[in-house]
Amino acid sequence: MQLELVSVTKRFGQTLANDAVSLFIGAGEVLALLGENGAGKSTLMKCLYGYYRMDSGQILLDGRAVSIASPRDAMRLGIGMVFQQFSLIPALTVRENLLLAYPQAPAWHGRANSAAILRLLGEFAPDIAADTPVAELSVGQKQQVELVKVLNQQARLVILDEPTSVLAPEEAQRLHGIIRQLAATGRSVVIITHKLEDVRACAQRVAVMRGGRLAAEVKETGVDERRLVELMVGTADVAPAVAVLPQSGITRLELRKLSCRGEALNLRGIDLQIAAGEILGVAGVSGNGQDLLADAVSGLAALDEGEVLLDGELLQGPVTRHPDDPRLGYIPEYPLKNAVAAEMSNSLNLALRGLARDPLFPDRQRRWSRAEDLMEAYDVRPRDPGLASGRLSGGNLQKLVIARELSQPRRAVVACYPTMGLDLQAARAVYEALFRQAEEGAAILWISEDLDDLLSYAHRIAVLYHGRVAGVLPAAQADRTHLGQLMAGGRLS
């Protein structure tokens, strides 16, 4: 399949998301689509997939003009897309999820009749058992199942939106292998990404978008990483500020024998202390309890045992939960799951933490002005306080939550993959906001699967394995080898 976008333009109100973008995608090619948040990458690919209708332009398939008015049209033409937010049903098995999405599912869903549906699962994800409940899968495995869903629909062009944003290094390497395998079978692949590692691992060509336009196209063999960064964000100086040292040895946030039940895994006997001004990183292969830990500390998940103390006062316990305590900031892994109301406006979502304390007749103009200031300060695009937050891209939705949670002083902050899906410049701004909170005395619990970042900026690193703390190391004494041993369930040598 050869596909060409010709002068594609897409507007959202006054915002020009795609400005006459033309792009060619060759058969069997892996194209990396790079750019900062709001550059128009995802919008362009969603126009190609029929999720959005372009305002003007053409799509040529093997030289022939085609009309794509919906995802159904795109799938009929052999175009599939795997989004950042998965659409699997956790309570169903892998087999059942694949059956639901199969175009010609058999009338009787027995094992023999589902052989065709599972063929590609065996080819691209042989380690995943068909009868495993999706709730028990890791993030990387769920992504593989989503990919098989798309391939079952005879996709010849596969679009992957930020596919490695929440994957552990081993899972990312496995996905890179699958992408190369797809290209070897003649399929075309477009990777929407911010990560230069994705480019190095499997891309043959790179297209860089900036400000809704195509800024440059280069062959992978000719990639100069510093030049790519300059094309994306305008400067190659994107390293975050250096993390501060703890202000004192006084414990600010304490987890005592914390135990909590999750859908696929339980937390058991978590003991952690974080000093005022300290950044404690939490590492672990995806699916080992990191998201449950974040929900437990923030009061969104009920504790079976143990307690969370803030400055010596009970914050969360088996019969006490304070998810709305203004002293605690919380940045979740998936904002739409438990941090943002998709149908509410940006201005209301930015004021969400204080709505219950608003007067009967709130000052709406003041709320609007504050939203404009925050959206400018944290570069949330489009900067429209009245826009429903569900219309934002994944990266801009993340920045909206970060603007709300880090724009005022907190005693403690739980940051769960805070830079997921963010470009380099936006990630730097998030780090600096976290470090400012630490400088002002906040205790930071920072959950991440990016070991390089944790080693560079955390003061100590705790490793979670099967819902338990496998070990805690000072960052200055840790390295990828030691952390990898703990993440795999081993002991330090």
Tens of pLDDT, residue by residue over 169-205, are 777 888 999 999 999 999 999 999 877 788 888 999 9
Quick one: pLDDT at residue 356?
63
Percent of the chain with pLDDT over 90: 58
Q: What's the chain's Rg over C-alpha atoms? A: 23
Q: How many other CB atoms are found less than 10 A from the CB of residue 397?
A: 26
How many Å apart are CA 26 and CA 4, to the nearest integer?
A: 8
pTM of this prediction? Answer: 0.64
Q: Partners of 444 in the beta sheet? A: 279, 413
What average pLDDT does range 342-362 have in this prediction? 84
Tens digits of residue pLDDT in 136-162: 888 788 999 999 999 999 999 999 998
Torsion of CA 215, 220, 225, 228, to 10 degrees: 0
Q: Which residues contact 354 (CB under 8 A, 6 or more apart)?
A: 326
Sign of the torsion formed by the C-alpha atoms of 140, 175, 50 and 229 = positive
- Residue 429 is predicted with a pLDDT of 84
Tokens of 323: 């998810």
Instruction: Report CA dihedral (477, 481, 486, 491) to the nearest 10 degrees.
Output: -90
Domains and CATH numbers, the chain: 3-233 (3.40.50.300), 251-327+410-487 (3.40.50.300), 347-409 (no CATH)
- For residue 112, the model assigns a pLDDT of 44
Q: How far apart are the C-alpha atoms of 463 and 467, rounded to whole Å? A: 10
The answer, yes or no, to whether residue 206 has pLDDT greater than 90, is yes
**CA–CA distance, 334 with 397 (Å, rounded to integer):** 9
Residues 156, 188 contacting (CB under 8 angstroms): yes
**What 3-state class would DSSP assign to 401?**
helix
Structure tokens at 442: 């906040």
484 — pLDDT class (breaks 50, 70, 90): confident
The 10s digit of each residue's pLDDT in 440-455 is: 999 999 998 778 788 8
Residue 14 has a pLDDT of: 76
Q: Is the dihedral angle over the CA atoms 291, 428, 402, 472 positive or is it negative?
A: positive
Query: Strand, coil or helix: what is 432?
Result: helix
Among 107-121, 177-191, 343-357, 390-404, the least confident range: 107-121
- Provide the pLDDT confidence category of residue 220 given band limits of 50, 70 and 90: low
List all residues 6 or more positions away from 323 whose beta carbon is below 8 Å from its beta carbon.
298, 299, 300, 330
Compare 310 and 333 and report the one with higher pLDDT: 310
Q: What is the DSSP letter of 243?
A: P
Residue 3's pLDDT is 95
pLDDT at 296: 96
For residues 454 and 284, what is the distance between their CA atoms, to the nearest angstrom? Answer: 11
The one-letter code for the residue type at 177 is G
Contacts of 480 (CB under 8 A, 6+ apart): 451, 452, 455
